């Protein structure tokens, strides 16, 4: 089985790549990024492409069975509200459309807890719109992960407030409040669950298979698939 990963320089994407490399079920892995990074795996093909408009061509050429997208930004990092939407919705949706056209049977989207197309908050509204648009494509299998606050070491800071909140949320990880109220989660845990679910054999059905994993369920699943650690 082949897979393609978008967002591998990010917190969740690099963990998806790490865990996908460990499994024999993924014989060929393509990582598509805007900037280079190191990987010593012989089964990983690193594609550096700064022009997101070419992503659809890369997908069409490689025709992966599974596509993971953990591409994400913030309004501050993007520079404006429209730039944020263009990246978080626009690029992700173009990736999903190209994956469907290329025949991918499974699409895995890293979204966010609280995603809702009717939200008054731009971030959650954009995430919700993207989820709805991806579901409308009707992949044979769609997996949407909705993590809570993400923890882990980032290659690039997302700003002082983001770094500060991550420090605060880290103190709740694993305790009662964290598991039942706030749901902070490490990128490695999200990556583990994403790969585990994607490599599970797809049972042929007449209707598309949709699996939406809540922040709480992500934490539970991460514990149960520790075999990938």
CATH number at 213 reads 3.40.50.720
Is residue 169 in some structural domain? Answer: no
Question: How do 141-145 and 44-48 pair as beta strands?
Answer: unpaired
Domain range for 14: 2-150+186-228
Q: What is residue 64's predicted lDDT score, i.e. its pLDDT?
A: 97
- What is the pLDDT confidence band of residue 160, given thresholds at 50, 70 and 90? very low
Distance from C-alpha of 182 to C-alpha of 10, rounded to nearest angstrom: 22
Residue 98 lies in a domain: yes
DSSP string, 153-206: --SS---HHHHHHHHHHHTTTTSHHIIIII--EEHHHHHHHHHHHHHSPPPP-S
Residue 164 covered by a domain: no
Q: Which of 69, 70, 72, 68 is nearest to 26 (CA)?
A: 68
213 belongs to a structural domain? yes
Whether pLDDT at 225 is above 90: no
Contact predicate 127/168, CB 8 Å: no
Q: What percent of the chain has pLDDT over 70?
A: 85
In a domain, 121, yes or no: yes
Integer Cα distance of 71 and 123 in angstroms: 14
pTM for this entry:
0.89
């Amino acid at each position: 089985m082949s897979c393609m990963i978008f967002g591998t320089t990010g917190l969740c994407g690099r963990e998806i790549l790490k865990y996908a490399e460990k499994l024999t079920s993924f014989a060929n892995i393509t990582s598509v990024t805007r900037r280079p990074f190191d990987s010593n795996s012989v089964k990983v093909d690193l594609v550096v492409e700064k022009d997101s408009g070419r992503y659809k061509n890369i997908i069409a050429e490689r025709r992966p069975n599974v596509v993971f997208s953990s591409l994400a930004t913030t309004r501050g990092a993007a520079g404006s509200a429209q730039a944020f939407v263009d990246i978080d919705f626009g690029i992700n949706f173009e990736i999903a459309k190209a994956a469907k056209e290329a025949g991918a049977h499974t699409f895995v989207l890293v979204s966010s807890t609280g995603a809702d197309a009717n939200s008054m908050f731009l971030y959650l509204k954009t995430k919700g719109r993207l989820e709805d648009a991806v579901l409308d494509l009707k992949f044979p299998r769609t997996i949407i992960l909705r993590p809570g606050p993400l923890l882990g070491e980032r290659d690039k800071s997302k700003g002082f407030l983001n770094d500060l909140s991550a420090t605060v949320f880290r103190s709740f990880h694993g305790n009662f409040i964290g598991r039942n109220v706030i749901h902070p989660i490490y990128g490695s845990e999200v990556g583990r669950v994403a790969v585990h679910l994607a490599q599970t054999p797809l049972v042929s059905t007449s209707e598309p298979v949709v699996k939406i994993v809540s922040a709480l369920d992500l934490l539970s699943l991460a514990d149960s698939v520790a075999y990938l650690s």
